[in-house]
C-alpha cells in the first residue's frame, strides 16, 4: 500500500497542528493527576505491550493463519498506539493526558518488545529468527516533534491566554474530525484495488484483534475502577495502532509483502472501531467532565 501525499505529508503537519490544539486543553495538573495515581498508566501499558501480542498468537492459532499472516498479525499487535490515537481520544472526550503518556511510554518500550515478539513469532512459525532492531533515535525524534513539542506549545499558550485557549477547543475538534475523515478516505482510496483480496486474507484476524483489544481496554479499566475518560483513553490506545511501524518491520526489515497484509487491513478497520469509540464517548461523557 503506497502512501498518498495527503498521508505522507499532510498528516504529520495536520497532527502537529492538532497536537498544539490538544495542548491548549491541557495543564500540568492534568498530567500530575495521572502520575500521582499511576494505576491507569500501568493498566494501559501492560495491556498494550504484553496482552495484545498474546491475543494475536491466540487468534492466529484459532483461525489457523498461514505462517506469514500469523507473523504479520503479531507485528501489528506488538506495535504501540499511533499519534492519531490522541486525536481519537480528544474527539471521544477521553483522558487526553493519559493518552499522550501511554503513546510516549509504549512507543519507547516497544523499541525492545516489538523485536522480541517478532523474533519469537518468526521462530515459532518459520523456525528461524531475524536480526531486527527499531531505530531508537528516529522513534524518540518522532515523539518529540509530533507529540511533545506541539503539546508543550499549546500548554504554554494556554498559560498566557487561557480564555482564548478554551474557546479554541471546539475548533480543534472540528479540524481534527475533518482530518480524520480525509485520512480514512485517503487510506481506503490508496488500497481500493487490493482491499477485497486483503480483507479476505486477513480481515477476520484483524477484526478480532481490534475488537478484543478494545474489549480488554474497557474490561481491564473497569476491573481497575478507572473513570470513563481513562477507560476510553486506554481502549483507544489499544485499538489505534501505529501501522507505519508495522509496515516498516514487514516490508523493510523482513522484506515480506505477505507479512504486511495484516497491518494494512488493521489500519483500515481500526478507524471504524475508533469512530464507534468516539460515538460512545460523546454519548457517555459530559462536555464539562
DSSP per-residue letters across 243-272: HHHHHIIIIIIS--TTTTHHHHHHHHHHHH
Q: Which residue has the higher pLDDT, 264 or 289?
A: 264
What distance in Å separates the CA atoms of residue 262 and residue 267, rounded to the nearest whole number? 8
Question: Which pLDDT belongs to residue 251?
Answer: 78
pLDDT at 247: 79
In tens, the pLDDT along 75-102 reads 999 988 877 888 899 889 899 889 988 8
Indicate if the pLDDT at residue 172 is higher than 90: no
Give this prediction's pTM: 0.81
How would you label 193-208 residue by residue, b for 16+ Cβ within 10 Å and e otherwise? Answer: eebeebbebbbebbbb
Q: Is the pLDDT of residue 163 over 90?
A: no
Alpha carbon separation from 157 to 16, 20, 24, 150 (Å, rounded): 15, 9, 7, 11
Mean pLDDT calculated for residue range 253-260: 81
Alpha helices in the chain (DSSP H): 5, 11-24, 28-36, 39-46, 52-63, 67-78, 84-91, 96-126, 136-143, 149-160, 162-190, 195-223, 228-239, 243-247, 261-284
Residue 2, pLDDT score = 45
Q: How far is CA 173 from CA 40, 79, 95, 167, 185, in A?
A: 24, 26, 14, 11, 18
What is the torsional sign of CA 170, 174, 176, 180? Answer: positive
Q: What pLDDT does 177 receive?
A: 67
The model's pLDDT over 213-245, given as tens digits with 9 standing for 90+, comes to 999 999 999 999 999 999 999 999 999 988 878
Confidence of residue 289 (pLDDT cuts 50, 70, 90): very low
Q: Between 3 and 77, whose confidence is greater?
A: 77
Q: What is the pLDDT of residue 190?
A: 65
For the segment 49-80, what is each residue's pLDDT rounded down to a tens digit? 999 999 999 999 999 998 989 999 999 999 88
Coil/strand/helix, residue 65: coil
| Burial (CB count <10 Å: 0-12, 13-18, 19+), residue 184 | middle
Tell me: the pLDDT tens digits for 92-140? 989 988 998 888 888 888 888 888 898 889 888 888 766 666 666 776 7
Nearest-angstrom CA–CA distance, 45 and 98: 11
For 42-53, the DSSP string reads HHHHHIIIIIHH
Q: Where are the domains of the chain?
A: 5-283
Tell me: the pLDDT tens digits for 13-39? 777 777 787 788 777 887 887 788 789
Q: Is residue 229 within 8 Å of 289, Cβ to Cβ?
A: yes
User: Phi, psi (5° rounding) for residue 25?
Assistant: -95, 0
Q: Which residue has the higher pLDDT, 246 or 43?
A: 43
Closest listed residue to residue 49, CA positions, set 105, 106, 118: 106
Q: How far apart are CA 188 and CA 194, in angstroms?
A: 10
Work out the mean pLDDT of the chain and round it to a whole number: 83
CA separation (Å) from 132 to 68, 111, 243, 248? 16, 10, 17, 11
Return d(Cα 48, Cα 70) in angstroms, integer: 18
**pLDDT at residue 3 in the model:** 47
Amino acid at each position: 500500500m503506497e502512501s498518498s501525499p495527503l498521508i505522507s505529508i499532510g498528516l504529520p503537519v495536520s497532527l502537529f497542528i492538532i497536537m498544539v490544539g490538544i495542548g491548549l486543553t491541557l495543564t500540568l495538573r492534568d498530567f500530575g493527576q495521572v502520575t500521582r495515581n499511576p494505576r491507569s498508566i500501568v493498566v494501559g501499558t501492560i495491556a498494550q505491550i504484553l496482552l495484545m501480542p498474546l491475543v494475536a498468537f491466540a487468534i492466529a492459532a484459532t483461525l489457523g493463519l498461514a505462517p506469514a499472516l500469523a507473523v504479520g498479525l503479531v507485528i501489528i499487535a506488538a506495535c504501540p498506539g499511533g499519534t492519531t490515537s490522541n486525536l481519537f481520544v480528544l474527539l471521544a472526550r477521553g483522558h487526553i493526558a493519559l493518552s499522550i503518556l501511554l503513546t510516549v511510554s509504549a512507543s519507547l518500550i516497544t523499541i525492545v518488545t516489538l523485536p522480541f515478539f517478532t523474533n519469537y513469532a518468526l521462530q515459532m512459525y518459520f523456525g528461524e529468527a531475524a536480526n531486527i532492531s527499531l531505530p531508537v533515535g528516529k522513534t524518540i525524534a518522532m515523539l518529540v516533534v509530533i507529540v511533545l513539542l506541539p503539546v508543550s506549545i499549546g500548554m504554554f499558550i494556554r498559560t498566557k491566554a487561557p480564555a482564548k485557549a478554551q474557546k479554541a477547543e471546539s475548533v480543534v475538534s472540528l479540524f481534527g474530525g475533518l482530518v480524520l475523515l480525509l485520512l480514512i478516505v485517503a487510506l481506503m482510496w490508496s488500497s481500493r484495488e487490493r482491499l477485497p483480496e486483503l480483507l479476505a486474507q486477513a480481515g477476520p484476524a484483524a477484526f478480532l484483534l481490534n475488537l478484543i483489544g478494545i474489549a480488554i481496554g474497557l474490561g481491564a479499566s473497569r476491573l481497575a475502577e478507572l473513570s470513563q475518560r481513562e477507560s476510553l483513553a486506554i481502549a483507544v490506545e489499544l485499538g489505534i495502532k501505529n501501522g507505519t511501524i508495522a509496515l516498516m518491520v514487514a516490508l523493510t526489515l523482513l522484506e515480506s509483502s505477505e507479512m504486511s497484509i495484516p497491518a494494512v487491513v488493521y489500519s483500515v478497520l481500526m478507524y471504524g472501531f475508533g469512530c464507534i469509540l468516539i460515538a460512545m464517548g460523546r454519548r457517555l461523557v459530559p462536555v464539562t467532565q
